Amino acid sequence: MRVADIRTYHIDLNPASLRGSATAGQRGPFAAQAGALMVEIATDDGATGYGLGGGGLASALIIDRHLKQFVVGRDPKDVEKIWDELYAVTQIYGRRGLPVMAISGIDLALWDLVGKAAGKPVFRLVSQKPRTRFFAYATGGDFPLAVEQGFRGVKLSIPYGIKDGEKGFQENLRLVHEARRQIGPEVELMIDVYLKWDVDYTLRFARAARDAELYWIEEPIPVDDYEGMARLCREVTGARIVSGEHEFTRYGFRELVEHRASKILQPDISWAGGFSECLKIAALGAKHGIPTWPHQGGTPWGLHLIAALPMPAWAETWGPSVRPTDNELFQRLRPPAKGGEFVVSEKPGFGVDLDRTLLERYTIDRL
């Protein structure tokens, strides 16, 4: 089996129910990542593997004009060796951001092929004792509905930052307390700040919101401020300080770990380096007693990662009210949690139900 071709699709995964909302950052959940990218790898024996990357058309260009030549003709089972080579040839302009997002999509598509060739789900290729059932938490949407449907945790996106002054601070506080009122005392409440605060703001907010019993405060300050994150981890009591959505590869996560700058690691399997790299990130965290709870873990690829993690985790998914009927591709890539839990598919590969006709229908633009 050899790779015969690679095709890329800059796809629309922004559900209409989130367009223009505060949850979606005004432009949809993939806006900050320059769009979603599906990578399709075909082999000479007719098999096809699919991987979700990031970076949209920009990453597609990197694959088509540079990385493709290092993958075509290769055995997909050499997936980790291929990863190392792709990382090496992009170091001059990569190490983070778009090139790693492109590599992520390729890596996932290769693992999909490896699983299909073996007739096994990917998580069973790397774990002798996988966890095939685990809790889900709901990001955004109707929190009371999420609780009603069995979710053990919900995550609130925080809309206001330093520039919004005292009025914004108080509104953030009101939103947190209202969310706690809606979900009751037994459900975990997380908040996602999305890099809008600084250390002093975060310390003040953590004290003011202590009675809301936050489970975590996610990415409160700029990603590269490891010292600031380390201080927050030391001084904030109750709520965990967590990060990793915007971090890349084992090398970036090593900074988080060595600085003790995150209580939970949150790599995104479609952005941080794919399945190969996220397993290494999780192993690094586990060595230091730090669990890995992947960002957007509720995708088919993320669920297989969680099943194979060395430490248990919950899977993030959009709230049950955010399941649009107008985007079939979104629905295929966001399997619903049932009773607040996910059960991982036993289908070969990642169990992704895709074809070119569907991908073409949701392709935004092409090279």
Check whether 22 has a pLDDT greater than 60.
no
DSSP strands (E only) in 17-168: 36-43, 48-54, 133-139, 153-157
Assess whether 140 and 14 both reside in one domain: no
Average pLDDT over residues 116-141: 97
pLDDT digits (tens, 9 = 90+) for 312-360: 999 999 988 886 667 888 888 989 999 999 999 999 999 998 999 999 9
Q: Are residues 112 and 236 in the same domain?
A: no
Contact 296, 116 (CB under 8 A): no
Whole-number pLDDT of residue 33: 55
**Would you place residue 19 in the very low, low, confident or very high pLDDT band (cuts 50, 70, 90)?**
very low
Question: Quick one: 177 and 48 in the same domain?
Answer: no
Question: Does 112 reside within a domain?
Answer: yes
In whole angstroms, give the CA distance from residue 15 to residue 82.
34
> Is 110 domain-assigned?
yes
Mean pLDDT of the chain: 93
Taking only the tens place, the pLDDT of each residue in 244-279 is 999 999 999 999 999 999 999 999 999 999 999 999
Give CA 11 to chain center in angstroms.
17
348 to 31, 49, 127, 298, 331: CA distances (angstroms)? 31, 11, 15, 18, 20
Q: What is the mean pLDDT of residues 47-66?
A: 96
Question: What pLDDT, on the 0 to 100 scale, is given for residue 21?
Answer: 43
CA atoms within 13 A on the CB side of 355: 2
What is the tens place of the pLDDT at every residue in 33-52?
567 899 999 999 999 999 99
Does 185 share its domain with 327? yes
Is the same domain home to 134 and 20? Answer: no
Looking up residue 244, the CATH number of its domain turns out to be 3.20.20.120
- Cα(54)–Cα(351) distance, integer angstroms: 20
Domain that holds residue 138: 125-343
Q: Both 167 and 261 in a single domain?
A: yes
Kindly state the percentage of the chain with pLDDT values over 70. Answer: 93
d(CA 236, CA 66): 45
73 and 205 in a single domain? The answer is no
pLDDT at 48: 98
CA 229, 168, 211, 217 dihedral sign is negative
Q: How confident is the model at residue 84 (pLDDT cuts 50, 70, 90)?
A: very high
The answer to whether the beta carbons of residues 71 and 106 sit under 8 Å apart is yes
pLDDT of 28 above 60: no
Task: Indicate whether 348 belongs to any domain.
Answer: no
Q: What percent of the chain has pLDDT over 90?
A: 86
Band (27; pLDDT cuts 50, 70, 90): very low
Q: Is 318 exposed, middle or buried (0-12, 13-18, 19+ CB in 10 A)?
A: buried
What predicted TM-score, i.e. pTM, was given to this entire model?
Answer: 0.95
> Are residues 134 and 276 both part of a single domain?
yes
40 in helix, strand or coil?
A: strand
> For residue 20, is pLDDT > 50?
no
Q: What is the mean pLDDT of residues 154-165?
A: 97
Whole-number pLDDT of residue 321: 86
Q: ∠ CA 28-31-34 to the nearest 5 degrees?
A: 150
pLDDT score for 35:
77
71/163 same-domain check: no
Number of domains in the chain: 2
- Residue 365's pLDDT band, with cuts at 50, 70 and 90, is confident
What average pLDDT does this structure show over 157-165? Answer: 97
Q: Assess whether 21 and 88 both reside in one domain.
A: yes
What pLDDT sits at residue 12? 80
153 within a domain of the structure (yes/no): yes
Of 10, 246, 295, 304, the catalytic one is: 295
For residues 96 and 196, membership in a common domain is answered with: no
Q: CB count, 10 Å around CB of 86?
A: 25
Active site residue 66: no
**Are residues 270 and 246 in contact, defined by beta-carbon separation less than 8 angstroms?**
no
| Claim to verify: residue 46 and residue 190 sit in the same structural domain | no
Query: Would you say residue 155 has pLDDT above 90?
Result: yes
| Residue 46 within any structural domain of the chain | yes
- The pLDDT assigned to 30 comes to 52
Q: CATH code at 358?
A: 3.30.390.10
Q: What is the mean pLDDT of the segment spanning 64-93? A: 98
Residue 349 lies in a domain: no
